[in-house]
Structure 1
Amino acid sequence: MRLIQYIDNGGQRQVGLVNVQNGEQIERLEGAGTTYTLAQKAIAAGSPLKTHIDSYTRVTEPDSLSDLLAQRRVLVPLDHPDPAHCYITGTGLTHTGSASTRDKMHSADHDTEQLTDSMKMFRMGLEGGKPTPGTAGVQPEWFYKGDGSILVAPEHTFPIPSFSLDASEEPELVGCYLNAADGTPFRVGFALGNELSDHITERQNYLFLAHSKLRVCSFGPELLVGELPNDIRGTSRIIRNGETVWEKPFLSGEANMSHTIANLEHHHFKYKLFRRGGDVNLHYFGTATLSFADMRTAEGDTFEIQADAFGKPLSNSWQVVAEPDYFGVEQL
């Protein structure tokens, strides 16, 4: 089951079920309004989300999913009415094969006998990232990306600040969560995401990784409700002036990861900060495929990330937005 959030012909936010039997047909969940409200009601009813969705009247929209995407009316599939109550975070070095590019970025002399911190972290995951269910394994690399104000809808343009040195895609899975009133985290679903980063800034010194992550991001367009496939195979590409200039397959799902999803979730939600009642958490699970290993992107490029399990591709272009050369603080 896959959901989208979108703007209808009357300018109102809606939640739609993608009818995969009928291709791109969208069935509006009458009265749902937002995925946030839909999930809140399912939690309050003590009902699985799929079961709760079945209680809604469905109305077929005149526009297909392709129509809605072309008209830029599709929103990210889960957000919070107050962006400050939406945490966006992530974990790195979680996929088999993900250490190679990072190791090269962080190694000054590429001495294969001297392990970088990135390679050490990756090996820790291989050795202890898949513990017995119900127990905690080794903690992963973790980073803060921003709040809901940095979310960019599918098909919309990424604003890249002029102080950035790079803008490169990171094709990842995103876990989408809503906390119940008592703070219990509930997983609403999974989506494809582009955890865009500034890899040149990161390459200068790995301690700049935190700076490199403070950029916009996107996820969707569709939200997968239910279990995550064990083996996910997709494609990440860069399109420039209508032509594909870079393309590579990417792998995800636990069959291709050094951590279980449950272990990554535990090491995020063990912090009470992220269990505040009513908050949304969007968590990027990492990747092993980056165009940065092969090329630099250019302003105007379009990033396209696709995997069959998630329906339509996630597509965003980027452009530079001017920022002041210096930010001063006023004395109060």
Structure 2
Amino acid sequence: MTTIFAGDDALFTVTVMKDGSPVAISNSDTLTASVYALDGRTVLVSSITLSHTESGANWANGIIAIALTDVQTADLPAGDVQVAVRGSFGLKRFKLTVETMDVVNDSIFIKDIIVDDLRSDSLLMAASGVLESLNVSDSYLWDKIRAAESEIAHELRVPLVPTKFFNVDPTPDEIAALDGMPWVVESAPDYEGDMFTGNKWGYIVTRQKPIISVDGFRFVYPTEQNGHYDIPLNWLSIDRKYGHVRIVPTSNAVLTGLAGLVMFNLSAGRTIPSMVRMKYTAGLENAARDFPELIDAIKKKAVLKIIGDAFLPQSGSISADGLSESLSVDMDKYSASIDLIINGSSGSNGGLMAAIHGVRMMAF
């Protein structure tokens, strides 16, 4: 996988393969390349004609060199895009990673820094002998880091970076305003008939936590276009850690607009599906600062994935010299260490899970 920087000149090569072998390309062939969004629907760089004389090209061995100017790369979005190459062989697509000088918003790591850190890991260095069969490139290590990051995020049930949550598809302007922040569309909460009865104060629990900010809150009835009431954000009483939101009016406005839209339901006790619309940001605001042990757990998880890849194809051959047994012991220690970081020691009800979500209890 190739990486380029947005706004810089880029020169990279790709190899056209068929059935695992390079495709020989005649120098007289006409080849073009375009850059698309990863879903293939949006053209990011229009068709350019390729040359067999470009630096790094070797068409006879299927190697094509593609040069992009700083103007062409300037507006490429950070993340993965696809390069589509057309020639007598047909259409061949390749994945291209675009980076910016800014921190990648959907990861808690900076690729260059974490890849260097990973290479210096003691267990990974000890396993260097069994990694010879792997192409341990920077891109390979980065993929393992991202896989480990995603796996631990799922285990902890929390976004590891600030993530925006919508109840309806965001507009293009809303997406642009996020400036690369990851976003998710989740189903809108129902309006419950007893939402304002007793001491509930419009009590809602968000699906994701901890809450970083609530950026919009409205009741919609019957549709977003035909009737809605925006709740002033200063009415919201928020427990950020546990994702609890209550509506505590601070003015008489509750007797006007809100009465016309919602209050009739208070006596009727009716449930209205998907009536509550909330835009909020949730996740870990600064994981490296607040939970440094999380960084350690992800790195250890990535190392285990890398060594696991090396063991699979040659587990028999590396066991002969005792290296397999030694590495297996160390891998078990790494795995136990990860579990200790996430869940705490046995019976402690601690670890990252408790630090993020609070102490877990079970009632019988």
Question: What is the TM-score normalised by the length of structure 2?
Answer: 0.21
Higher relative contact order (CA 8 A, sep 6+): 1
Larger C-alpha radius of gyration, 1 or 2? 2
**In proportion to residue count, which structure has more strand?**
1
